[in-house]
């Protein structure tokens, strides 16, 4: 009877899982939340960066000269540079096949272009009334697609207390569930005509332990799905933040 109940509980859990793959910022006191060494992409800005508050990037810089909405209302265009791969000596990007890393960068560029294009004229060169956006992926780690499904099964299902506590401990210490992917970016936004930096940030997102549709479908557990989902979130978030900086009334929040 106990075996039947356990099997039934697992079956119900799998059937009722809903939603979609998601990511989250690692806890700020975890290994992934604290170890944010700059890659060199934003070299001149690092000394001015500070730790972000909840809901903000892990590290950020904001130019106080551009604090008012009036400064942002002048911009009607965006020059989005190609997303770069800027791997430091300790970056896991060093081990990613070139074809895959190029696809990651191109996918992120498309996400950013699509979101920013909803509010701005997209241009291919610097000029007046233009924001210049520069982004680099400095680290990325694929999920272990063969094992990732296990990390999405709710911890209490058939897992002894000691093992459940151990898994939670790993998440609290490392900053992400076992088998999940992660990606780290650096980015800056500048006045395209003067080159003055308006804002910059370093941020990281990891695969989250949330139930998803198609628990055992292979496409759900593509090795880079966590990275792609993080890129989608960041693109939506950038659009939202720019909308808020313009003090617009129709800002759409990024969905996690």
In tens, the pLDDT along 187-241 reads 999 999 999 999 999 999 988 754 444 443 444 447 888 899 999 999 999 999 9
Is the separation of the CB atoms in 102 and 55 below 8 Å? no
**215: Cβ contacts below 8 Å, ≥ 6 apart:** 14, 17, 149, 152, 153
In tens, the pLDDT along 236-250 reads 999 999 999 999 999
Beta 182-191 vs 197-207: how paired, if at all?
A: antiparallel
- Residue 11: pLDDT over 50: no
The predicted pLDDT at position 32 comes to 58
In tens, the pLDDT along 149-166 reads 444 445 454 545 544 444
Count CA atoms closer than 13 A to 59's CA, side-chain side.
Answer: 19
Q: Which residue, among 178, 177, 225, 175, has the nearest Cα to 204 in the 3D structure?
A: 175
- Residue 29: pLDDT over 80: no
**Would you mind telling me the total number of residues written for the chain in this entry?**
256
Rounded to 5 degrees, what are φ and ψ at 240?
A: -65, -45
The predicted pLDDT at position 129 comes to 97
Token pair recorded at residue 44: 């001149």
**245: Cβ contacts below 8 Å, ≥ 6 apart:** 69, 72
Q: What percent of the chain has pLDDT over 90?
A: 51
Considering Cα of 73, then 78, then 83, then 88, what sign does the dihedral take? negative
In tens, the pLDDT along 80-90 reads 999 999 987 77
Q: How far apart are CA 191 and CA 59, in angstroms?
A: 21
- What is the separation, in whole angstroms, between the first and last Cα of the chain? 40
């Amino acid at each position: 009877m106990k075996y039947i109940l356990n099997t039934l509980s697992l079956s119900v859990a799998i059937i009722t899982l809903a939603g979609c793959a998601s990511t989250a910022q690692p806890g700020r006191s975890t290994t992934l939340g604290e170890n944010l060494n700059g890659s060199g992409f934003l070299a001149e800005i690092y000394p001015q960066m500070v730790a972000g508050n909840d809901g903000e990037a892990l590290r950020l810089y904001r130019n106080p000269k551009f604090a008012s909405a009036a400064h942002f209302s002048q911009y009607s265009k965006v020059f989005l540079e190609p997303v770069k791969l800027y791997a430091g000596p300790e970056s896991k990007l060093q081990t990613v096949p070139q074809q895959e890393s190029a696809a990651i960068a191109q996918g992120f560029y498309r996400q950013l272009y699509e979101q920013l294009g909803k509010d701005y004229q997209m241009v291919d060169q610097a000029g007046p009334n233009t924001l210049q956006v520069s982004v680099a992926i400095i680290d990325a780690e694929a999920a272990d697609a063969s094992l990732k499904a296990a990390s999405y099964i709710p911890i209490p299902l058939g897992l002894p207390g000691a093992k459940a506590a151990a898994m939670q401990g790993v998440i609290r210490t490392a900053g992400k569930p076992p088998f999940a992917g992660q990606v780290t970016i650096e980015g800056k936004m500048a006045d395209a005509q003067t080159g003055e930096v308006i804002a910059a940030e370093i941020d990281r997102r990891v695969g989250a332990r949330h139930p998803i549709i198609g628990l055992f479908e292979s496409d759900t557990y593509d090795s880079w799905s966590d990275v792609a989902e993080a890129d989608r979130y960041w693109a939506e978030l950038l659009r939202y933040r720019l909308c808020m900086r313009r003090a617009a009334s129709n800002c759409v929040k990024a969905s996690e």
